[in-house]
A = this chain, B = another copy of it.
Amino acid sequence: MHSTAEENYIKAIYKLSGGGAKAVSTTGLSESLETKPASVSDMLRKLSAKDLVHYVKYHGVQLTEEGRRVALKIIRKHRLWEVFLVQKLHFTWDEVHEVAEQMEHVKSELLIQRLDEFLGHPRVDPHGDPIPTEAGELRQEEQRVLSSLAVEQKGVVCRVKDSQPAFLQYLNKMGIQIGSQLQVVDKIPYDNSLEISIDKTKSVILSSDVLDKIFVINP
């Protein structure tokens, strides 16, 4: 098994490299992890010995296939815990990160399987980022603007375009958050507003201004 420190390096490399694609610099990592470059060099040598990264001195690191697998596992755990914290314990978006950062290192396959089940196999975290599958795949969902849905069509909120407090508060009042299950009930042709049902419980009318700012994926 890997140490917490190792896991944090792997995760940081994954993020900085944009999913394991490009190589990452020592300084970049040291800034991201808030450690000194010398410490990073140290750790990269160790990770390289474990074949979690390809490391060429003075020329940066990249994740190996195995490293990428490990990264996705950690990210899966992190995002599932974020969903738990927001949906079940009513944390706000800004409160979750620090705690999820700790929970992601708890070791138990069964725990994550059961948590995933308990949460209803969510596909995005509270920030709208996709949750890797158990198999370690990061399926990129096709995102659509809510305004583009036809009557009867469904979608799960995955992203909002406007992050101003006023807008977020409005969504909150409506009962809409990332992960909410929406369905178009009716279309009002006069002003292109839509009647939307939220989580199969209540329904509201949203103006086309608002509809243009909400993105959904297929349920």
Contact of A103 among B88, B95, B106, B117 (CB under 8 A): B106
A174: CB under 8 A from chain B?
no
Contact A89 B102 (CB under 8 A): no
Interface hit among A37-45, A108-116, A130-138: A108-116
Contact A110 B95 (CB under 8 A): yes
Task: Known A88-B118, A89-B115, A115-B89; judge A99-B106 contact (CB<8 A).
Answer: yes
Residues of A participating in the B interface, judged by any CB pair closer than 8 Å: 85, 88-91, 95, 98-99, 102-103, 106-108, 110-111, 114-115, 117-118
Closest B residue to A108 by beta carbon equals B99
Task: Known A95-B110, A110-B95; judge A118-B102 contact (CB<8 A).
Answer: no
Closest B residue to A107 by beta carbon equals B102
Contact B103 A90 (CB under 8 A): no
- A117 cross-chain contacts in B, Cβ below 8 A: 89
Contact A111 B88 (CB under 8 A): no
Cα separation A89 to B88 with both chains bound (whole Å): 13
Cα separation A74 to B102 with both chains bound (whole Å): 16
Cα separation A184 to B117 with both chains bound (whole Å): 35
Contact B95 A106 (CB under 8 A): no
Contact of A106 among B90, B91, B102 (CB under 8 A): B102
